[in-house]
Amino acid sequence: MTAFGDFAPLCTNTPSYTWCNLFYRQLQRTNDALLTGLSASPTTAPVGVNPICGIAPIFSTVGPKPALGNIANIIACGLSFFLVLLLIFLSHRRKAAVGRIELRALLILYALSLPLQLLTTGAVLKQGELPIVVLTALHAGVVAALFWALLANGVVATQVVEDGTMSSLIPYYTFSLLIFGLAVYLSLDVALGVTNVIGAPADPPEALRSISLFVVLNIWPPVATILYFGLMSWIVLKVLKETRPMYYYILSAFLFVLAQLAWFLLGKVVCKASNSRVDGSFIATVLETAAVGVLYLAWRSITEESWDDEIYYPS
């Protein structure tokens, strides 16, 4: 029976599920007999733990040809990275827009997550080795901090504190670092077993249970997203009394939900249909990047009256 905090169903049924890299190392150092099927050999193991379907790593072979890894998601991450760089540049140019610095920091965090995602889900690194464990832990830290940054942008939009000032930026960056550090620590502890409290294997170990990591990586992101959407709905509809920006926020939320559905529901279907060449991760990446792009348009639409090409406001 699956219990709260179990990653086993996700690592088995969701191809290229990033956080399984941590549990692969955990089983490898505690009970490697539990690594069976596609996960039996680290040399050919895809991302996941005993997955039903998985993409062969780039250094192995598929039939007579060398494997390309998760090539579709590698391309999606690469293209998305350059698109987000463009959004960072465009947000930087809007010198007088409310929340410019905070939004730019959010976009930078998302941009950082993309090359990490490419490395941790692209089937380009050998399973169980220290590089993929460390990169996965850093990826977890960036993702956790990213959703704090999203929520903090909603708080800044309420103008409870003046945006771009120390009263806004100090807590913004402080909590980003704290949440980043917490997620990195939990991830490394699960994989490497530094402590016997958090990092200890589950009982039974094949459950791949870590309640703390599950909360940080699977519960915190949707909670932060819902709170952000609620804040922005109140600001747009009640404070600004506008409707057009709300369409952007609704579309962004819709794309984000579709991305999660693509990752968790389409992943296995696409993997099997393509004979383990691609999975749903590239669709999720494209939809998530589209959600971020629409979020930028939403921010731009509620700050249009603050924009002034003739005046420079240093920050």
Q: pLDDT tens digits for 214-244?
A: 999 999 999 999 999 999 999 999 998 989 9
Q: What is the pLDDT of residue 266?
A: 92
Of the ranges 19-28, 159-168, 201-210, the best mean pLDDT one = 19-28
Torsion of CA 222, 224, 226, 232, to 10 degrees: -150
Question: Which has the closest alpha carbon to 225: 161, 148, 296, 160?
Answer: 148
Distance in angstroms (rounded) separating the CA atoms of residues 2 and 270: 25
108 phi/psi in degrees, rounded to 5? -65, -40
Of 6-20, 52-66, 112-126, the range with the lowest mean pLDDT is 52-66
- Confidence check: pLDDT of 197 > 80: no
Distance between CA atoms of 232 and 68, rounded to whole angstroms? Answer: 42
The Cα–Cα gap between 185 and 42 comes to 24
Does the pLDDT at position 313 exceed 70? no
CA 46 vs. chain centroid, Å, equals: 19
pLDDT for position 203: 77
* Residue 61 DSSP label: E
**pLDDT tens readout for residues 153-175:** 999 988 888 887 888 899 999 99
**Ranges assigned E (strand) in the chain:** 61-62, 65-66
- If DSSP codes are grouped into helix, strand and coil, which group holds residue 280? coil
Of 312 and 53, the one with more pLDDT: 53
Residue 6: beta bridge partners?
A: 209
Cis peptide before 204 (omega within 30 of 0): yes
User: Distances in Å between the alpha carbon of 295 and those of 39, 76, 285?
Assistant: 38, 19, 15
Q: Note the pTM of the prediction, 2 decimals.
A: 0.92
User: Is pLDDT above 70 for 315?
Assistant: no
Q: What is the pLDDT of residues 246-256, one digit of tens each?
A: 999 999 999 99
Domain ranges of the chain: 8-220
* pLDDT recorded at residue 82: 97
Sign of CA dihedral 185, 76, 228, 315: positive
Let me know the angle formed at the C-alpha of 17 by 211 and 111, rounded to the nearest 5 degrees.
Answer: 100
Which pLDDT score, from 0 to 100, does residue 62 have? 55
Q: Which two tokens stand for residue 39?
A: 């996960």
Tokens 């062969």 label which residue? 56
What are the start-end ranges of the H helices in 123-209?
A: 130-157, 166-192
**Does the pLDDT value for residue 297 go beyond 90?**
yes
Question: What is the pLDDT of the chain when averaged over all its residues?
Answer: 90
Average pLDDT rounded to a whole number, residues 35-61? 90
**Region 19-34: what's the mean pLDDT?**
93
Indicate whether 201 pLDDT > 60: yes
What distance lies between CA 249 and its chain's CA centroid? Answer: 19
Q: How many CB atoms lie within 10 A of CB 244?
A: 10
- How much is the pLDDT for 1? 60
User: Given this model, what pLDDT does residue 205 score?
Assistant: 87
Tokens read off for 170: 């100090």
Helix (H, G, I), strand (E, B) or coil at 66: strand
54-104: pLDDT as tens digits? 999 987 765 556 778 899 999 999 999 999 999 999 998 887 778 889 999
Which range scores top for mean pLDDT: 22-36, 92-106, 300-314? 22-36
Q: Which residues are CB-contacts of 104 (< 8 A; sequence separation ≥ 6)?
A: 88, 91, 92
